[in-house]
Structure 1
Amino acid sequence: MSRWRTYRPHVAGLLGLGLPLIGSHLAQVAIGVTDALMLGWYDVEALAAATLAHSIWFVIFILGSGFAFAVMPMVAQAIGSGDDRQVRRVTRMGMWISILFGLAVMPALIWSRPLLELMGQTEIVATLAQTYLAITAVAMVPALLVMVLKSYLSSLERTQVVLWITLAGAGVNIALNYILIFGKLGLPEMGIAGAATASLTVHVLSFLAFAVYAAQVTREHTLFARFWRPDWEAFWQVFRLGWPIGITNLAETGLFAATAVMMGWLGPVPLAAHGVAIQLASLTFVVHLGLSQAATVRAGAALGRGDLDFLRLGARAVTGLSILFAIVTMVVYLSVPELLVGLFVDPADPRRPEILAIGVVLLSVAALFNTVDGLQVIALGLLRGLQDTRTPMILAAVSYWVFGFPAGYVFGFVLDFGAPGVWAGLVCGLAVAAFTLLWRFWAEFARRARRADPAQA
């Protein structure tokens, strides 16, 4: 009971900050899930192409999001030390870098078909995927700016507005998907192009909503006053902290994208089943992600105050919450897999039984990797709170690409286990990442504790 009293304030603080973030991430993922759900009822080739295209778009997006993630601990530390000017500087320059990154990657997305064909995709999947990417390329800049403003507002612990704007965006996406994919209300049937157009619209409207809120409610930081004026010192501060975060994100999401490519080698049906299972896994992963971001904010604030005891107890509390939710997720995935996978496939589709069979097995594997996936993102969140990003980048890259990707290829194709074997590679990579990143956090914590109290050395 006394132990619970010790951790209760940390659990309450993490949930108070994290639940709105979890809700906002669920709403964000709902955009991809809605695309998959409606396209699965529209056409299996469209679902396969959207799965591949969204994987590639998300890899690039998450790379660019490294700079937005860097804003979060920097703002949290500035708030902890009472430096409002630094809050404005790093947030602005985070937006600058995001705009430059988004413009730089746009051409590769617009003209992506040759690359997709070189990756071994069928002609119809490559053509449909390019259609999706050419439209959503324009969404890259507003999507990255939304991430910066989310990080800024989350560090101020204004997570409720993050939740409500994201929920509104998910609602708009559902309505637009239905209208544009199937051609309702007198509009032409657009299929995969309709899903992409809906996503673009939501990203633009979400950015406008966040920008108006920041300009009107957090006026003390004057984020947009003389926005065009560079602040090169803050620019490079964000860049130095953010690029390793982006590479770390790329290492993980790149592994998932590579998995989608390998599933494409197995054919449209395994790729479609992968798309369904990965969307379901994403819905549960965002709980760990929301807790991780709450941990980043609280760790950054503790760092700004020099409160290592708060940091230690908070780290233990967030790790326990992640493990508890992973156990709940495992029970759900193993109890009703056919029901969950079946939601995404038209009952009249002749390939439904095959998609269900593969999807159910993949969801069973997801039940295993959900735990280690949660732990690795919790560790990353804590390390970012300490502004430790370069060593975690190396650990993540080795985990995913030295262990995870080769294991997936060997299990899937050399040993001929097919789709479940490819996903087994994900488990290997994520497990190594979880172990090494948690070790890094506690080693770094011990080092800082010794520096603060030499008597412990």
Structure 2
Amino acid sequence: MNFSNYTKEFRYNLKLAYPVILGMVGHTMVGLIDDIMVGKIGTTELAAVSLGNSFLFIAMSLGIGFSTAITPLVAEADGEGNKDRVKAAFKHGLFLCTVLALGLFTSVLIAKPLMYHMKQPDAVVELAMPYLNIVAASLIPLIIFQAFKQFSDGLSQTKYAMWATLIANGINVLLNYLLIYGKLGFPKLGITGAAIGTLVSRIIMVLFIWWLLRSKEKFRMYVTNLNMLSIQKSVIKKIVNLGFPSSMQMLFEVAIFTAAIWLSGVLGQNAQAANQIALKLSSLTFMVGMGLSVAAMIRVGNQKGMKNFVELRRIAFSVFALTLFIEIIFAGIFIAGYKVFPDLFVNYNNEADLLNTYDVVKTAGVLILIAAFFQISDGVQVVVLGALRGLQDVMMPMLFTFIAYWVVGFPISYYLGLHTEYKSAGIWLGLLAGLTVSAILLFLRFNYLTKKLIAQKESN
């Protein structure tokens, strides 16, 4: 095997992926800064944000996962040179994402009283309630934004969503500073201020990307004159058939991390705060894998449209190799910094909360060490999943992710976390097991499918 056949694709893979990575890292950094700002208030407030976001993450995963159906359809139509199919995929995807966003927002509001029955600390629940009321509304602009993002990604134009995200994130950080701490005459709203910042920035994000795409001649024909009264059932069915399993795939993964938040809450607010620190750091590096996953989805979708399956397999493996290399570096960074990173999230000057602070830092350090080991599994599984979406293969990956996270991962997290001395570390060992099984099963699936497609073409 000549490794240069894969490494020569690294530059173009990164060219496609880096705008997505920067946009997602920027978005995650805002969440990270949110947590750092909130953590300076106290560990209870940090745990409340964690609990409130856990409800949001589930709804968000369904919306974002569903929207990914737009990218392979657009990429395939673009590979065929069929502009009408490109516009149809975007219009119907935007319609479905808008309907889904409204439904998910309503569902979060209906589900939020469940907090009172989840054995979470009372003080944490009382703070999380008003936070969730506001931040849930941000689901609507976020999922509508995803329709625009996935469309432009499908045309290999990943930079526009990046600019929209980075600008919105800058506004979010500014609003957080003003509203969390009450600076420059603004009211001091604590974590409610963080929720308002999130909502406003996401509204700006969707308005900006719409304006940006509309102002570009290449995109204007696709994003204007959208007759939403003329909806074709066949296109809706195709998007739903791809989008529903994709949303389930993302739900299964996000839900196990959400379950980790809830299990940590059963252990206490310190365990929950420590879990939030490790989760935020892991989410930051995961965005790199997500960006490379989009690159894999686009490139595989293009090659599928051209029916060049040998090239499709080579290109996909080049993205896998690049991901593996990057994730090994991240693992090393986590191992080197596991004692230092938690200090960013806590306030050692709050003497009344000092014992809790030391407990949070110690626990978070252990979780970061475990997270170092699942960097590789997490990165590989999400990139292979992106390649499978590019092939429009979604049903078997949905089954594999369910098995990995809920047949293997969650039982381990539950048992080790609540019934052994491992506690928080046990919860994260379950996450590691689930991610590893997912990576193995998805890779085997991609390897099987691409060999089958190549053999079928050669036999014809």
* TM-score, length basis structure 1: 0.96
The aligned amino acid for 2:455 is: R
Which residue is equivalent to 1:235?
236
- Asked if 1:330 is matched to 2:343, the reply is no
Which residue is equivalent to 1:276?
277
Q: Whole-Å Cα distance in 2 between the matches of residues 72 and 325 of structure 1?
A: 24
Q: For residues 31 and 228 of structure 1, do their structure 2 counterparts lie closer, same or farther at Cα, with a shift above 3 Å needed?
A: farther
Q: Whole-Å Cα distance in 1 between the matches of residues 317 and 130 of structure 2?
A: 46
Is the Cα contact below 8 Å between 2:49 and 2:128 reproduced in 1? Answer: yes
Which residue is equivalent to 1:366?
371
Note the C-alpha offset of 1:224.
4.6
SS of 2:68's partner is helix
Note the C-alpha offset of 1:174.
0.8
Is the Cα contact below 8 Å between 1:111 and 1:134 reproduced in 2? Answer: no
Is the Cα contact below 8 Å between 1:214 and 1:223 reproduced in 2? Answer: no
Which residue is equivalent to 1:449?
454
Q: Whole-Å Cα distance in 1 between the matches of residues 111 and 399 of structure 2?
A: 29
The aligned amino acid for 1:301 is: N
Is the Cα contact below 8 Å between 1:42 and 1:182 reproduced in 2? Answer: no
Is the Cα contact below 8 Å between 2:66 and 2:246 reproduced in 1? Answer: yes
Q: Whole-Å Cα distance in 2 between the matches of residues 383 and 132 of structure 1?
A: 37
The superposition leaves residues 342-378 of structure 1 with CA deviations (integer Å, 9 ceiling, x where unpaired) of 1111122312211110010000000011110111101
| 4+ residue runs over 4 A deviation | none
Q: Whole-Å Cα distance in 1 between the matches of residues 220 and 61 of structure 2?
A: 29
- Asked if 1:204 is matched to 2:217, the reply is no
- Asked if 1:79 is matched to 2:78, the reply is yes
Q: Whole-Å Cα distance in 1 between the matches of residues 237 and 8 of structure 2?
A: 36
Note the C-alpha offset of 1:111.
4.6
Is the Cα contact below 8 Å between 1:116 and 1:126 reproduced in 2? Answer: yes
Q: Whole-Å Cα distance in 2 between the matches of residues 321 and 364 of structure 1?
A: 23
The superposition leaves residues 153-201 of structure 1 with CA deviations (integer Å, 9 ceiling, x where unpaired) of 1111222222222111111111111111111111111111101100001
Q: Whole-Å Cα distance in 2 between the matches of residues 255 and 224 of structure 1?
A: 41
Is the Cα contact below 8 Å between 1:77 and 1:303 reproduced in 2? Answer: yes
Q: How many residue pairs end up in the alignment?
A: 454
The superposition leaves residues 1-28 of structure 1 with CA deviations (integer Å, 9 ceiling, x where unpaired) of x935422442121111011111111011
Q: Which moved more, 1:22-31 or 1:295-304?
A: 22-31
Is the Cα contact below 8 Å between 2:65 and 2:248 reproduced in 1? Answer: yes
Which residue is equivalent to 2:305?
304
Q: Whole-Å Cα distance in 2 between the matches of residues 62 and 431 of structure 1?
A: 20
The aligned amino acid for 2:305 is: G
Map 1:47-86 onto structure 2 (within 5 A): 47-86=46-85
Map 1:22-33 onto structure 2 (within 5 A): 22-33=21-32
The superposition leaves residues 104-138 of structure 1 with CA deviations (integer Å, 9 ceiling, x where unpaired) of 12233235442011121122222222212211221
Q: Which moved more, 1:257-266 or 1:112-121?
A: 112-121
Note the C-alpha offset of 1:207.
0.2
Is the Cα contact below 8 Å between 2:19 and 2:162 reproduced in 1? Answer: yes
Which residue is equivalent to 2:261?
260
The aligned amino acid for 2:277 is: V
Q: Whole-Å Cα distance in 2 between the matches of residues 110 and 393 of structure 1?
A: 27
Q: Whole-Å Cα distance in 1 between the matches of residues 189 and 4 of structure 2?
A: 56
Q: Which moved more, 1:156-165 or 1:73-82?
A: 156-165
- Asked if 1:388 is matched to 2:387, the reply is no
- Asked if 1:286 is matched to 2:287, the reply is yes
Is the Cα contact below 8 Å between 2:55 and 2:112 reproduced in 1? Answer: no
The aligned amino acid for 2:154 is: S
Which residue is equivalent to 2:427?
422
The aligned amino acid for 2:337 is: V
Question: Among residues 407, 410, 415, which one is paired with 2:412 in the alignment?
Answer: 407
Map 1:129-208 onto structure 2 (within 5 A): 129-208=128-207
The aligned amino acid for 2:448 is: A
Map 1:121-132 onto structure 2 (within 5 A): 121-132=120-131
SS of 2:340's partner is helix
Q: Whole-Å Cα distance in 1 between the matches of residues 101 and 226 of structure 2?
A: 22
Map 1:29-48 onto structure 2 (within 5 A): 29-48=28-47
The aligned amino acid for 1:331 is: G
What do you get for the CA RMSD once the two structures are aligned?
A: 1.5
Q: Whole-Å Cα distance in 1 between the matches of residues 428 and 7 of structure 2?
A: 37
Question: Unpaired segments of 5 or more residues in structure 1?
Answer: none
Is the Cα contact below 8 Å between 1:31 and 1:199 reproduced in 2? Answer: no
Question: Unpaired segments of 5 or more residues in structure 2?
Answer: none
The aligned amino acid for 2:431 is: L
Which residue is equivalent to 1:437?
442
Is the Cα contact below 8 Å between 1:69 and 1:151 reproduced in 2? Answer: yes
Which residue is equivalent to 2:315?
314
Q: For residues 28 and 327 of structure 1, do their structure 2 counterparts lie closer, same or farther at Cα, with a shift above 3 Å needed?
A: same
The aligned amino acid for 2:291 is: G
Is the Cα contact below 8 Å between 2:339 and 2:365 reproduced in 1? Answer: yes
The aligned amino acid for 1:408 is: S
Q: Whole-Å Cα distance in 2 between the matches of residues 352 and 157 of structure 1?
A: 45
Q: Whole-Å Cα distance in 2 between the matches of residues 191 and 279 of structure 1?
A: 19
Q: Which moved more, 1:394-403 or 1:88-97?
A: 88-97
SS of 1:233's partner is helix
Is the Cα contact below 8 Å between 1:88 and 1:223 reproduced in 2? Answer: no
Q: Whole-Å Cα distance in 2 between the matches of residues 219 and 99 of structure 1?
A: 20
Q: Whole-Å Cα distance in 2 between the matches of residues 226 and 413 of structure 1?
A: 53
The aligned amino acid for 2:326 is: F
Is the Cα contact below 8 Å between 2:417 and 2:425 reproduced in 1? Answer: yes
Q: Which moved more, 1:436-445 or 1:98-107?
A: 98-107
Note the C-alpha offset of 1:31.
2.4
Q: Whole-Å Cα distance in 1 between the matches of residues 401 and 277 of structure 2?
A: 26
The aligned amino acid for 1:181 is: I
The aligned amino acid for 1:287 is: V
Q: Whole-Å Cα distance in 2 between the matches of residues 223 and 247 of structure 1?
A: 31
Which residue is equivalent to 2:250?
249
The aligned amino acid for 2:60 is: F
The aligned amino acid for 1:83 is: N
Q: Whole-Å Cα distance in 1 between the matches of residues 401 and 224 of structure 2?
A: 33
Q: Which moved more, 1:217-226 or 1:360-369?
A: 217-226
Q: Whole-Å Cα distance in 2 between the matches of residues 237 and 56 of structure 1?
A: 29
Q: For residues 323 and 5 of structure 1, do their structure 2 counterparts lie closer, same or farther at Cα, with a shift above 3 Å needed?
A: closer
